[in-house]
Structure 1
Amino acid sequence: MDVLTFNLNNPSRERAQRQLYWLAARPEQILVLTETAPSDGCDFLADRFEAAGFRVVFPRPERGERGVMIVSRLPLEAATTLSSYLPHRGVSVTVATTAGPLDIIGLYVPSRDATPAKTDRKRRFLEEAGRAIPSGTTGARLLIGDFNILEPKHEPRYPFFKPFEYAFYEGLEAAGYGDAFRQLHPTAAEHSWVGRTGDGYRYDHAHISAALVGAIHGCHYVHEPRTRSDRLTDHSALAVQLDVAPETQLRVSDPTDLGAAGALF
């Protein structure tokens, strides 16, 4: 089973159309799309995938807010929000596999600036998410998305990140989760977002519970959507490959080929 997380950056309708072509060509069965909004671009993506037979979980955030959308080629046994605080930013789904249920939790952690309001908001979300995420020592579970935090040993080191942000990453490890990318690439320097000054940040993460440690087959960043000339978004995607087989798949069609009634342009 392959999973991809991709920050949409709340696209316009035109950019969402280009993103659709790229996403539809990806091999992953599950797409965890972050930085969604109640917008024409995000509604377009949700509608196209649903019309093609995909299972779409998209708790639309209120105007001005952001969230997560999960698009699946596989049937989903359950779909819930992670917690009551900013619920659209934590979406949990369960997939039936031949080895038992696999939970996938998509996260889009709030960003912040130096203001107390945004700092407190991010701190509260991380605290609530930390309490709501089940222990990594039980069950098969993948946490994936744009965490807007860095690992404590991130290179380069940025002085403006606060202890509570690093504490969330460390808390996942203490709860039994492992950084999938670091498991396979312990010393690699990778960044999924690059600022205007050229400074890089590894914001997008995938963490696996102990039950999946032996099943992680691949984990790598896909830089193309960020670096191509017609940039699709400001983040690199992150792809995870698991040696886990789904019980069944949905019968889906190409979401970019919906006939004259659903013409893209």
Structure 2
Amino acid sequence: MSSPGLSLLTLNIGNPSPDRARRQLAWLVRREEDVLVLTETKASAGCRLLAEEFTAAGYAVHYPRPGPGEYGTMIVSTVPAAPDGGFGDRVGYLPSRAAAVILPAPAGALRVIGLYVPARDASAGKTERKRKWLAACDTALAAAVTEMPAIVLGDLNVLEPDHWPRYPFFAPFEYDFYRTLAEAQRLTDVFRYLHPDEAEYSWFGRIGDGYRYDHAFCSQSLSGYITSCDYLHQPREDMLSDHSALTMRLAIIPPAPLPPA
């Protein structure tokens, strides 16, 4: 039996085929988290299957449909969650990569923001795309986190500045985005709050090099309520995804659950 409180999970689902989406669904519906933030969605058959099956089962589903060839984020919850469609509009550039909902928690409304930051290679085009998106997201977050307490989860495709090992191909602007979350936006890295020195990774390269790409942050006003935050490697080990999941829990009362379908 899990401990009480509001729980959330993020997982990069990798734009699954319908077959893999069904296997992901079987794992996700057994989870006890109140809110699921699923990144690397597309307007594809596999992602539509997930959205439709979750909806049919009584979950609240916020699935901003990505444009042709683009990616996005889906937020699924067992508790009431009002879609905050305006957050993607605030980002403006590649808006489906940013999704947000508002939870009517008994102690006060909370905004849950899911992000799927663009990846890049050494090309100038993809580097500029990532730089532009991070700048737009930073501006949107600066406003959103001042309006109400916020939780930010997803595949950020950035590393903390003192990540070990250190990889030389990450640019200063990528580390600056992490610093902005922690400093300018005054958000707490939930995993680091509980595990200041632990080396954990959510994605591995071809030669086994580890990267902590998937993150959870919360407003500092919520940090005293953090009770757990851990990486779950089963999805990667069972080939449901090439990423591990990240789960977190806050000792605050969640909204009453939605009735089952």
TM-score by length of 2: 0.94
Can you list the C-alpha shifts for 1:155-187, whole angstroms capped at 9, x where unaligned?
000000000000000001112111000000000
- Partner SS, residue 181 of structure 1: helix
Shift of 1:252: 2.1
Q: 1:227 maps to what in 2? A: 237
- Which of 155-164 and 82-91 deviates more? 82-91
- Partner SS, residue 131 of structure 2: helix
Q: 2:245 maps to what in 1? A: 237
- Partner SS, residue 133 of structure 1: helix
Q: 1:99 aligns with which of 82, 107, 110?
A: 107
**One-letter amino acid matched to 1:144:** L
Structure 2 gaps, min length 5 = 1-5
Q: 1:152 aligns with which of 133, 138, 161?
A: 161
Q: 1:168 aligns with which of 177, 184, 200?
A: 177
Q: How does 1:72-91 map to 2 (within 5 A)?
A: 72-80=77-85, 81-82=87-88, 83-91=91-99
- Partner SS, residue 109 of structure 2: strand
Matched, 1:69 2:78: no
- Which of 197-206 and 172-181 deviates more? 172-181
Matched, 1:17 2:22: yes
Structure 1 gaps, min length 5 = 254-265
Q: How does 1:107-186 map to 2 (within 5 A)?
A: 107-134=115-142, 136=145, 139-174=148-183, 175-186=185-196
Contact kept? 2:62, 2:83, Cα under 8 Å: no
Q: 1:208 maps to what in 2? A: 218
Shift of 1:137: 6.2
**One-letter amino acid matched to 1:84:** G
Aligned length: 251
Q: 1:262 maps to what in 2? A: none
- Alpha-carbon distance between aligned partners in 1 of 2:255 and 2:55, rounded to the nearest angstrom: 21
Matched, 1:46 2:82: no
Percent identity for Structure 1 against Structure 2: 50
Contact kept? 1:138, 1:211, Cα under 8 Å: no
Can you list the C-alpha shifts for 1:119-166, whole angstroms capped at 9, x where unaligned?
000000000000100365663110100000000000000000000000
**One-letter amino acid matched to 1:146:** D
- Alpha-carbon distance between aligned partners in 1 of 2:64 and 2:249, rounded to the nearest angstrom: 26
- Alpha-carbon distance between aligned partners in 2 of 1:47 and 1:121, rounded to the nearest angstrom: 31
Note the aligned Cα RMSD (angstroms): 1.2
Q: 1:35 aligns with which of 35, 40, 45?
A: 40
Matched, 1:250 2:258: yes
Q: Runs ≥4 in structure 1, deviation > 6 angstroms? A: none
- Which of 143-152 and 77-86 deviates more? 77-86
- Alpha-carbon distance between aligned partners in 1 of 2:240 and 2:35, rounded to the nearest angstrom: 19
Q: How does 1:190-209 map to 2 (within 5 A)?
A: 190-209=200-219
Q: 2:10 aligns with which of 5, 15, 34?
A: 5
Contact kept? 1:137, 1:209, Cα under 8 Å: no
